[in-house]
A = this chain, B = another copy of it.
Amino acid sequence: MTDNLNPQPRSYHMTPDEFRKYGRAVVDWIADYYERVESLPVLSRVHPGEIRAKLPAEPPQQGEPFEQMLADVDRLIMPGITHWQSPNFFAFFPSNSSGPAVLGELLSAGLGVQGMLWATSPACTELETHVMDWLVDMLGLPEKFKSTSAGGGVIQDTASNSALTAVLAARERATGWAGNERGLDGRLVAYASTQAHSSIEKAVKIAGLGRANLRLIDVDETFAMRPDLLARQIAADRQAGLVPCFVSATIGTTSSNAMDPIRRIGEICRAENLWFHVDAAMSGTAALCPEFRYTHDGLELADSYCFNPHKWMFTNFDCDCFFVADRAALIRTFSIMPEYLRNKATESGAVIDYRDWHVQLGRRFRALKLWFVIRHYGVEGLRHHVRQHVELAQRFATWVREDERFELAAPAPLNLVCFRHQAGDEFNRKLLEALNNSGRLYLTHTTLGGRYTLRMVVGSTYTEARHVEAAWAQIQATASQLA
């Protein structure tokens, strides 16, 4: 076919009928994957460079058939996949997904709308605001985080960006918005515990406060921040002529799921007029269940809060839910208004333009998948699975306690169990390596009190009792072999 013979312009686009055909193939591929993922080695076994070595050095000049691409996913890509959706994935924090989430993501990709302004797709903004308000009720969060109050919620990509957003709003509030305008003077100070996620340090660096101005407050025997030491440090910094501006506390630290005392920290922040951010990236989901809401006690004292449905609420990455009590402070921190974005709806003041709620301008329609997940499961279904994960983790903790070779390394309030063999760091390191090399499960580690510690998180969508039982059997057997 040449342009001479055919007056129609040549098109290389996939036709709607081809999309139907190949779309079904990909849907079936994913369904097959979920049926077989349990049998695959969880941790990829490739060596550095092994995947790239099989890829052609040059990009294709001519298009290739879709069938070939899908076959290459199996042939070239799958050996390099670590299976985060495996029921035997117990590493890091989960990044669990589900059918309704994946289909919501698909629909969002198909629609391909931008939600940077209300006007660029009103439904994208309004569904997001609505679902975020639903979540306030679902998790029992303070009413001030609702859009119908002075606050509101926005979907961010990650808790790292939520932390950055919070640090920036704190920085600007503390400087009367002079940081944005004139830059910084090196006197602002931020606070978190020694157990806080690395994203807090990253945010403090990005925002120009300097790592030296991030105070890492020591923790108690449960690895929770000590409010007395926080108060003392704030006083010392004020004494030194510095300007405390931001405190981040964690509901469920990454290392050990430690619970910072939100109420007591919040009281200090209110007394000292500091921006109080609460990071509940994984454990926030537990607040779906009334019996776990004690972890959020005092949250009404917070200025901002985030949790990640993309970790433990069956919503595929990325979906971090960030709430603020004072949306005006947030918007003032991020607002820009070039001529090419001006529009009547914005100028009316009657709408939310989410571009002023975070770093990015462009944003996709992520509320769709969250809406699908909440409606598919219902609050009841979500609670059921969260409770099941917690119960399985608690059973695991019981088995650890009952085996005299092992010990718990930290309290296990929810679905993360930190444990170690009593034979010491080197033994535990070998144990972890042997377990992960087996392909039957994947665990990661941390250090607690200076000691090498294994972490077992129960939070993958398809993890059932039998997987946790098999994991413990494998841990016991491997420990015996190594001993």
Residues from chain B with a CB closer than 8 A to the CB of A464 are 9
Chain B nearest CB from A212 CB (Å) reads 5
Q: How many residues of A contact B (CB 8 A)?
A: 167
**B376:A100 contact, CB within 8 angstroms:** no
* A476 located at the interface, meaning its Cβ lies under 8 Å from any Cβ of chain B in the complex: no
Q: List 18 A-B contacts (CB under 8 A).
A: A13-B314, A17-B31, A19-B102, A43-B119, A55-B126, A55-B127, A80-B126, A81-B124, A82-B121, A82-B122, A85-B111, A157-B360, A183-B188, A254-B338, A317-B362, A340-B444, A340-B445, A342-B445
* A30 located at the interface, meaning its Cβ lies under 8 Å from any Cβ of chain B in the complex: yes
The chain B residue with its CB closest to the CB of A460 is B112
Chain B nearest CB from A213 CB (Å) reads 6
Contact of A24 among B27, B33, B34, B378 (CB under 8 A): B27
Bound complex: CA A368 to CA B186 (Å):
42
Q: Which of A56-64, A268-276, A399-407 lies at the interface with chain B? A: A56-64
Q: Which of A129-137, A218-226, A230-238, A296-304 lies at the interface with chain B? A: A129-137
Chain A at the B interface: mostly helix, strand, loop or mixed? helix
Bound complex: CA A35 to CA B18 (Å):
12
**A446:B254 contact, CB within 8 angstroms:** no
**A379:B31 contact, CB within 8 angstroms:** no
* A462 located at the interface, meaning its Cβ lies under 8 Å from any Cβ of chain B in the complex: yes
Chain B nearest CB from A452 CB (Å) reads 9
Residues from chain B with a CB closer than 8 A to the CB of A345 are 48
The chain B residue with its CB closest to the CB of A337 is B198
Contact of A198 among B24, B164, B336 (CB under 8 A): B336
Q: Beta-carbon contacts of A88-126 to B below 8 Å, as 1s and 0s? A: 000010011111111101110111111000111111101
Bound complex: CA A19 to CA B85 (Å):
15
**B205:A206 contact, CB within 8 angstroms:** no
Contact of A185 among B10, B186, B384 (CB under 8 A): B186
| A residues 227-274 in Cβ contact with B at 8 Å | 254-255
The chain B residue with its CB closest to the CB of A310 is B362
* A73 located at the interface, meaning its Cβ lies under 8 Å from any Cβ of chain B in the complex: yes
With A183-B209, A378-B60 known to touch, is A29 a contact of B359 (CB < 8 Å)? Answer: no
Chain B nearest CB from A76 CB (Å) reads 8
Bound complex: CA A416 to CA B167 (Å):
38
* A477 located at the interface, meaning its Cβ lies under 8 Å from any Cβ of chain B in the complex: no
Residues from chain B with a CB closer than 8 A to the CB of A359 are 160-161, 164, 202, 206, 359
Contact of A102 among B9, B110, B138, B455 (CB under 8 A): B110
Q: Beta-carbon contacts of A293-320 to B below 8 Å, as 1s and 0s? A: 0000000000000000010001011100
With A206-B207, A212-B183 known to touch, is A107 a contact of B336 (CB < 8 Å)? Answer: no
**B9:A380 contact, CB within 8 angstroms:** no
* A423 located at the interface, meaning its Cβ lies under 8 Å from any Cβ of chain B in the complex: no
Bound complex: CA A202 to CA B185 (Å):
19
The chain B residue with its CB closest to the CB of A53 is B126
Bound complex: CA A453 to CA B372 (Å):
41
